[in-house]
Structure 1
Amino acid sequence: MTPRRFSLRTLATTAATVLLSGLAAAQSFPSKPITLVVPNPPGGFVDASARLLSEPLSRVMGQTVVVDNKGGGSGNVAYGLVARSAPDGYTLLTSYSAYHVGNPNLNPKLPWAQKDLAPVALITVATNVIAIHPSVPANTLGEFISYLKANPGKLSYASQGNGSLSHIGTEMFKMQTHTSMVHIPYRGSGPAVQDVLSGQVQVFITTPPSIMGHIQAGKLKGLAVAGKARHPGIPNVPTTAEAGLKGFELEAWVGIFAPAGTPPDVIAKLSSSIKQAMEQPDTKTRANAAGIEIRYLPPAALDALVKRETEFWAKTIKSAGITAD
């Protein structure tokens, strides 16, 4: 046998072995519980999305799917944990758009990089809502903007943490309206909502799962939905364009990612199972009740979304002068 023939045969054998091992991994997967790591404390859009997925995905895959909240560090604790996990499909990240595309633009020394995470599926999206405490003397978005201009720096706004969409989005709002508010960052939506409800902080721009019930109950004022259409859960709240603020739109998304190096067949099986889980009637019913829109994208489309938004937020963060601190 010539060296060339030996090399070609060795290469072919190696390739076949890798392919067969990948197929075997996918066929036996999953053989134990799967963990969805959430980069926020319980409560809010990301946590609600993970819990929306966990039960139907358990049924589809025939294994328990556990939700594990790892808040802190503007999401970086959870992202670093998943990035360092074994690439076997059993530890997955429930990724929040602002953390995934915002943090790399805010901090060059993260404990993770986008390349450390392999896209599996986009699962949900949610349009942000501008909400204020009832003590603020404004009942419309126009009145609120006028009050801010007359009282610069008097009000404070909550965010889910430095670099979160509520942080970046509110800074965009301030730039567009030429107003001033003090930023108070929190470790997720749950604690932020509590302080807004108490009036300790007066403003919160966030997704419907965090505040829709409080707006419905009259505990917060919903001034505008930052999207193209009104939200069915709070139909009396106008869009920002209807309220006179054109061009201000904020949409958050949640996607599932696996550690880089996870076998493609395992990712494909996870993605198709997630699609099936999110299409079940009871999942859609629960999503509507929580104010969440289900929107599935396969791995390649999610990867393209990440690249587009990373570029967009790089420009936005730079123009707004937003920093990680």
Structure 2
Amino acid sequence: MFRINNFQLSRRFILLAGALSLALPQLAIAQAWPTKPIKLVIPFAAGGTTDILGRLLAQQLTKDLGQNVIVENKGGAGGNIAAEFVAQAPADGYTIMLASGSMLTVNPNLYKKLPVNYAKDFVYITNVASGPMLLSVSTKLPVKNFGEFIAYAKTKDLNFGSAGIGSQVHMAAENLNYSANIPATHVPYKGESAAINDLVSGQIDFMVGNLTAATGFAKNGQIKPLAVTSAKRVKQLPDIPTVAEAGIPGFESTGWFGLVAPANTPKVITDKIYEATVKAVGSEAMKKSLDLNGLTAVVNTQKDFDAQIKSESASWERVIKGRNITAQ
């Protein structure tokens, strides 16, 4: 018969008590979270859609969590610079990131060397919001509509801007170029706002930018909007057709933005972040702001968010390999 003597029992009890003595203070700290300001890292320069959404969210989370949520922009390398910073931060809930969908689904398939492992170095909390994109061209281009643009682009070596290699803006344009069979040279920037500024000045020819960042410039006549990438027209620009309507049936491309935290952040904390985000996005102030910026609230569960990322990652892997897109 198998027996455990008193010494073995005592030793196991001591080890268990020791483990509990270490775990309980950490649990208490997690349950008391937050007790100080929270840093929300934005992986692109100020003025882009990720930044705009991040600042809206930070405002509302500050009210709901009772601590200041401070936005910090760390642009560059398609979001990888910010990702490395957040991955190395303490897993205590005081440093989180609003990542673009491309960072979590495109970058792992595009970059041969990454400073982080997106699948292992982060806890995926929730997809916050999504929105369509807008194909716009420089006012210097002699085209008036989508059809004229495609015909013109096939005869010229045009260039297009993005928020960086592998960014949602970059990949949406690559999708369009592939679907329309047009050649074009990619010009990456550290953020969407910088690319739009050069589109306004005519330094680049066209861009497929997030609706949030591009609409104001389009309405002011600083850039020429030709088509939206959503399945239906958007109320912000009701006279602008969809890409599908304008000549590429079935074409659709949307951008989305999700919250992540360093790996090993206690679940009790990520649950609190999720619950606060659901409340924030559901507030009347946030609803109005999202609608005004052409964004739609998502806030899916962590399980659904994980599934979404895995599914889209597989799709982008096929696209990147099929089109031979590389990161320099």
1:210 to 210, 213, 219: 213
CA distance in 2, matches of 1:194, 1:167: 16
CA distance in 2, matches of 1:323, 1:167: 12
Task: Give the counterpart letter for 2:124 in structure 1.
Answer: P
Q: Deviations over 1:184-232 (max 9, x none)?
A: 1111011101110011111010111111011112222211111111112
CA distance in 2, matches of 1:312, 1:14: 47
2:36 to 24, 32, 41: 32
Gaps of 5+ in 1: none
CA distance in 2, matches of 1:79, 1:290: 25
Q: Deviations over 1:42-68 (max 9, x none)?
A: 011110111010011001000000000
Aligned to 1:113: 117
CA distance in 2, matches of 1:4, 1:237: 76
Query: Structure 1 residue 20: deviation in Å?
Result: 4.1
Query: Structure 1 residue 5: deviation in Å?
Result: 4.4
Identify the range of structure 1 (240-249 vs 59-68) with the bigger mean alpha-carbon deviation.
Answer: 240-249
Q: Deviations over 1:154-194 (max 9, x none)?
A: x2111111111222222221221111112111110111011
Query: Structure 1 residue 12: deviation in Å?
Result: 5.8
User: What is the number of equivalent residue pairs in this alignment?
Assistant: 323
Report if aligned partners of 1:37, 1:70 keep a CA contact under 8 Å in 2: yes
CA distance in 1, matches of 2:313, 2:70: 29
Query: Structure 1 residue 292: deviation in Å?
Result: 2.0
Aligned to 1:236: 239
Alignment RMSD: 1.8
Report if aligned partners of 1:74, 1:187 keep a CA contact under 8 Å in 2: yes
Given the alignment of the two structures, is residue 122 of structure 1 paired with residue 127 of structure 2, yes or no?
yes
Report if aligned partners of 2:132, 2:294 keep a CA contact under 8 Å in 1: no
Query: Cα–Cα, structure 1 residues 13 and 239, in superposed 2: closer, same or farther, change >3 Å?
Result: farther
Query: Cα–Cα, structure 1 residues 253 and 29, in superposed 2: closer, same or farther, change >3 Å?
Result: same
Identify the range of structure 1 (293-302 vs 67-76) with the bigger mean alpha-carbon deviation.
Answer: 293-302
Aligned to 1:99: 103
Structure (1 or 2) with the larger CA radius of gyration: 2
Identify the range of structure 1 (190-199 vs 24-33) with the bigger mean alpha-carbon deviation.
Answer: 24-33
Report if aligned partners of 1:37, 1:68 keep a CA contact under 8 Å in 2: yes
Query: Structure 1 residue 73: deviation in Å?
Result: 1.9
Report if aligned partners of 1:25, 1:266 keep a CA contact under 8 Å in 2: no
2:191 to 188, 201, 209: 188
Aligned to 1:166: 169
Query: Cα–Cα, structure 1 residues 33 and 244, in superposed 2: closer, same or farther, change >3 Å?
Result: same
Gaps of 5+ in 2: none
2:46 to 33, 42, 46: 42
